[in-house]
Amino acid sequence: MSKSYPRISNIFLALPCIVLEAMGSSSTGLSHNVPNVISLDGSVHEGGGQLLRVALVLSSILHKPVHITNIRLHRKSPGLQAEHIAAVELARNMCKADVRHMVKDSHELYFAPRTNLTHNEYDADTKGHGSVTLLMQVGLPLAMFSSGITQFSLKGSTNTFNAPSLDFYTNAWDPLTFKFFGTNMEIRDIRRGFFPKGRGHVYLEVYPVQYLRSIDLTEFEEIVTTWGRAVCTPDIKIDTVDIMGDIAEEYLLTHHPEAYEKIDILRDQLRPFEAHGNGSAIYLFAETTSRAILSAGLTVQKYRGFNETAVQVAKEFSNLLKTKVCVDDYMQDQLIVLMALAKGKSRIKTGNITLHTKTAIHVAETMSHAKFNIVDNKDGTHIIECDGIGLENKLIDRPYV
């Protein structure tokens, strides 16, 4: 099925609803005083923003109020930071939620949807180096279960250290969820923003679904193609991306000849209007006959030069292909919410279960009552199984294609 899209119109900031600050109610008292509120401890498992984002998504879609305490309790800068507040604001605007304690450094948050998810044109900005893709983790699922085609204008870092890159979403997450779950969206890369300066800009247009299909991705089969991108901002020498691409290819030639034979790595120096900040990165991808899409990638950091970065990415990529998993570390936790909401039983084959994935499963089981099971294989891989709740989008009366 081909994907076609109407032209994206101008994006504007959706009018925010009123934020109600809790007056004089303790963290414990709030959950007891408001009926049917789900209480979550934000310090469990990964203990960071992942729990908050998954909770916002499921609260908004399932119309379940949630009260989160101990948010990012053990982080260097605990509590809500700018990028987390931007995600809360985005979710709030889409379901006109009653929100309390949404202030910087707050260790708790109360979020209660007041309306169905409304399709519109939404704007969200981390106002710094916060990740655009972490905003996407909230906005995309909400748009899938909204009342129509939803458009987003998101600003922040597209290439940073502790979040999936925009390249991951455009090359792996979008095509994989389209093939298996039946999602449909367009992602437009307007301007790259490299950490720490940020100021990247991404347009999204997301079509609603009637329901999400289940996914069965447990067989690796054969490699169809491999590709990659070594990219840098204008003030980084083009030699940098040439060298990173060459190093990655040489590593694969030695350690995984099959992948090397099919690899095509684009070397790309962005033009001044295409990027903000100062940085470089390399990303590698592979697709198999079973339609699995695997990825590895890193943004170059000061303590790790571009040579070492290229070797590390190539090594991780080669190991993924050798273990014949069907879902990489970044992908596995990104699929948990979709599996929980999908119709039928989903199964994916992964490597080690990450803390982010454990966090997402914990929240999904608590809030949606979907049932997850992890099967440990003898070769060290794992199968994540989920009996989804089969949620249907009652806000639309026809499929959007």
Residues 69 and 132 in one domain: no
Residue 37: C-alpha distances to residues 29, 67, 112, 230, 364 (Å): 11, 7, 8, 47, 15
Asked, for residue 3, whether it belongs to a domain, the answer is no
Asked, for residue 393, whether it belongs to a domain, the answer is no
In the residue annotation, 356 being an active-site residue is answered as yes
Instruction: Tell which phi-psi region holds residue 71, choosing left (phi > 0), alpha (psi between -120 and 50) or beta.
Output: beta
Residues 60 and 103 in one domain: yes
4: pLDDT strictly greater than 80: no
Q: Burial letters for 323-359: b for 16+ Cβ neighbours within 10 Å, e otherwise?
A: ebbbbbbbbbbbbbbbbbbbbeebbbbbbebbebbbb
Residues 319 and 332 in one domain: no
- CATH number of the domain that residue 199 is part of: 3.65.10.20
Strands 66-69 and 38-41 turn out to be parallel
Asked if residue 382 lies in contact with residue 350, where contact means CB atoms within 8 angstroms, the answer is yes
- CATH number of the domain that residue 337 is part of: 3.30.1370
Average pLDDT along the chain: 90
Asked, for residue 1, whether it belongs to a domain, the answer is no
Residues 273 and 294 in one domain: yes
Residues 97 and 77 in one domain: yes
50 vs 295: CA distance, rounded Å: 20
Domain enclosing residue 266, as ranges: 223-323
Confidence of residue 90 (pLDDT cuts 50, 70, 90): very high
* pLDDT tens digits along 327-358: 999 999 999 999 999 999 999 999 999 999 99
By percentage, how much of the chain surpasses pLDDT 90? 81
pLDDT at 157: 93
The DSSP 8-state label assigned to residue 78 in this structure reads -
**Amino acid symbol at 14:** A
Residues 126 and 109 in one domain: no
Does this model's pTM top 0.85? My answer is: yes
7: pLDDT strictly greater than 70: no
Asked, for residue 11, whether it belongs to a domain, the answer is no
Confidence of residue 218 (pLDDT cuts 50, 70, 90): very high
Q: What is the DSSP string of 163-185?
A: S--HHHIIIIIHHHHHHHT--EE
Residues 291 and 237 in one domain: yes
The DSSP 8-state label assigned to residue 127 in this structure reads S
Residues 78 and 147 in one domain: no
Domain limit, last residue, from 57, 88, 116: 116
Q: How many C-beta neighbours within 10 Å does residue 142 have?
A: 24
CA dihedral 268, 271, 273, 274 (to 10 degrees): 0
Higher pLDDT, 400 or 261: 261
Residue 117 neighbours by CB under 8 Å, 6+ apart? 60, 61, 94, 95, 142, 143, 145, 146, 147, 395
Residues 351 and 335 in one domain: yes
- CATH number of the domain that residue 283 is part of: 3.30.360.20
Asked, for residue 306, whether it belongs to a domain, the answer is yes
13: pLDDT strictly greater than 90: no
168 vs 170: CA distance, rounded Å: 6
Count of domains in the chain?
A: 4
Residues 336 and 317 in one domain: no
Higher pLDDT, 320 or 28: 320
CA dihedral 313, 238, 272, 136 (to 10 degrees): -10
172: pLDDT strictly greater than 50: yes
pLDDT at 197: 82
Asked, for residue 10, whether it belongs to a domain, the answer is no
By percentage, how much of the chain surpasses pLDDT 70? 91
Residues forming a β-bridge with 194: 159
3: pLDDT strictly greater than 70: no
Q: What is the DSSP string of 223-257?
A: EEEEEEEEEE-TTS-HHHHHHHHHHHHHHHHHH-H
Instruction: Return the H-helix or E-strand segment holding 142.
Output: helix 132-144
pLDDT at 35: 64
* pLDDT tens digits along 179-213: 999 999 999 999 999 988 878 999 999 999 999 99
Confidence of residue 101 (pLDDT cuts 50, 70, 90): very high
Domain limit, last residue, from 323, 342, 377: 323
Asked, for residue 75, whether it belongs to a domain, the answer is yes
Domain limit, last residue, from 209, 239, 265: 209
Tokens coding 306: 């571009």
Residues 149 and 241 in one domain: no
Residue 305 neighbours by CB under 8 Å, 6+ apart? none
pLDDT at 400: 79
Residues 282 and 318 in one domain: yes
Asked, for residue 216, whether it belongs to a domain, the answer is no
From 84, 201, 256, 356, active-site residue: 356
380: pLDDT strictly greater than 60: yes
* pLDDT tens digits along 18-59: 333 333 333 444 444 556 899 999 999 888 899 999 999 999
Average pLDDT in the 145-171 region? 95
**Amino acid symbol at 16:** P
